């Protein structure tokens, strides 16, 4: 995948982008299609990515992270997703959502305990969604009851990324009523009363560990609480701002990967005695794809820069994630069209890119939910 044009990048950012592209092409690309078939997360590759500094880019150096910003984290995710969306989303969900939430809400002692394993390549999970609480996250019913110096947790979480292979999980549970009655607690992999079951048959992101997590009288010490009781919902919403920027960057990579594949295919495919890259219909479709990705890229990196400047990035992140996810899906669809029948076969990379991109208009806030949030700012100011 050619490196996308970012004229505003510093020399160090451009070097990070190039190093990530090199890692993606040399380590991820060779087995991406096979991993999509076997649905296996490449743990050793993930740890290698951590070793070379591609996991936890925006986490503090004192905890083993890169000490950089969301802009740099987005650059990494975009390049990884250009060859393997599952891998990129795992990086974003593990070090991004989990590590970012801990950094935001934990005490220094808690952060020093749980962030360093994530930057070394252990997996982090972030459990919010339930069967009856997806878009309406405040409707969750998983309960954490305080009993002496512990919390006793009972409930069910679904669609938990790294929900089976995690070492550290942040779980949102009900400790009171309403949005102010949701708290965030840390679950460790050896806690009794927790069972995880892989969710099989996914359309895309197949080599990402996605699980259903069942908690039956899972007892955790009270010092596993992040922040104060009742802070969990607000913590989660703040974490999702950064998560949506990361998701937008993954979308850029998926779209760019599909566009690159379609361009290469068009150059080599002949019809009616000439390359189909000479046909105006094909060129027009790919031009529209390039425009959509360029616009999405501006939105995503603008949101990252706003967050890095410690300003409210919520509105920018919402627009970036919404536009980038829908742009990526459109680009992947057009890329299949350019491939014709070959694009419909799962040996084609554009097939996998489309399946991976399809998740992105649903996860991290569906398009409908995010449009509603944006529309409120339009009408209410």
Beta-carbon contacts of residue 360 (< 8 Å; ≥ 6 apart): 247, 250, 251, 254, 324, 325, 328, 329
- pLDDT, one tens digit per residue, over 236-267 is 999 999 999 999 999 999 999 999 999 999 99
Domains of the chain and any CATH numbers: 11-119 (1.10.540.10), 124-230 (2.40.110.10), 234-380 (1.20.140.10)
pLDDT band at 78 (very low <50, low <70, confident <90, very high): very high
Query: Is the model more confident about 8 or about 74?
Result: 74
Contact 141/133 with Cβ under 8 angstroms?
Answer: yes
Supply the DSSP symbol for 115.
H
| Catalytic residue IDs | 364
Q: What is the average pLDDT score of the chain?
A: 95
Contact 59/95 with Cβ under 8 angstroms?
Answer: yes
Question: Is 60 exceeded by the pLDDT of residue 148?
Answer: yes
If you average pLDDT over residues 363-378, what whole number do you get? 91
How large a percentage of the chain has pLDDT more than 90?
89
The size of the chain, in residues, is 381
The per-residue pLDDT for 357 is: 98
> Token pair for residue 135?
């878009």
Residue whose structure tokens are 């990129």:
88
pLDDT band at 278 (very low <50, low <70, confident <90, very high): confident
User: How many Å from the N-terminal Cα to the C-terminal Cα in the chain?
Assistant: 41
The per-residue pLDDT for 1 is: 46
């Amino acid at each position: 995948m050619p490196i996308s044009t970012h004229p505003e990048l510093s020399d160090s950012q451009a070097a990070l982008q190039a190093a990530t592209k090199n890692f993606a092409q040399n380590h991820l690309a060779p087995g991406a299609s096979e991993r999509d078939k076997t649905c296996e997360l490449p743990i050793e590759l993930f740890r290698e990515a951590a070793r070379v500094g591609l996991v936890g880019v925006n986490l503090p150096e004192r905890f083993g992270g890169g000490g950089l910003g969301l802009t740099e984290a987005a650059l990494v995710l975009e390049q990884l997703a250009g060859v393997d969306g599952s891998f990129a989303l795992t990086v974003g969900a593990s070090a991004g959502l989990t590590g970012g939430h801990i950094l935001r809400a934990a005490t220094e002692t808690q952060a020093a305990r749980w962030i360093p394993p994530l930057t070394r390549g252990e997996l982090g999970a972030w459990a919010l969604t339930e069967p009856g609480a997806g878009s309406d996250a405040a409707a969750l019913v998983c309960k954490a009851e305080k009993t002496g110096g512990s919390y006793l947790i009972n409930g069910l979480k679904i669609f938990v990324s790294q929900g089976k292979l995690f070492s550290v999980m942040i779980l949102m549970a009900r400790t009171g009523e309403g949005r102010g009655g949701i708290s965030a607690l840390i679950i460790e992999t050896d806690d009794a009363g927790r069972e995880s079951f892989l969710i099989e048959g996914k359309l895309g992101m197949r080599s990402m560990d996605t699980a259903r997590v069942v908690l039956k009288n899972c007892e955790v010490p009270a010092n596993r609480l992040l922040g104060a009781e009742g802070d969990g919902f607000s913590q989660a919403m703040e974490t999702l701002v950064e998560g949506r920027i990361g998701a937008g960057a993954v979308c850029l990579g998926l779209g760019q990967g599909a566009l690159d594949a379609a361009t290469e295919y068009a150059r080599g495919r002949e019809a009616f005695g000439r390359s189909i890259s000479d046909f105006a219909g094909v060129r027009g479709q790919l031009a529209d794809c390039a425009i959509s990705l360029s616009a999405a890229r501006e939105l995503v990196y603008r949101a990252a820069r706003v967050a890095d400047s410690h300003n409210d990035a919520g509105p920018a992140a919402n627009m970036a994630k919404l536009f980038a996810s829908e742009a990526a899906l459109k680009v992947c669809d057009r890329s299949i069209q350019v491939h014709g029948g070959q694009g419909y076969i799962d040996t084609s990379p554009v097939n996998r890119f489309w399946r991976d991109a399809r998740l992105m208009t649903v996860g991290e806030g569906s398009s409908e939910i995010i449009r509603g949030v944006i529309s409120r700012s339009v009408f209410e100011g």
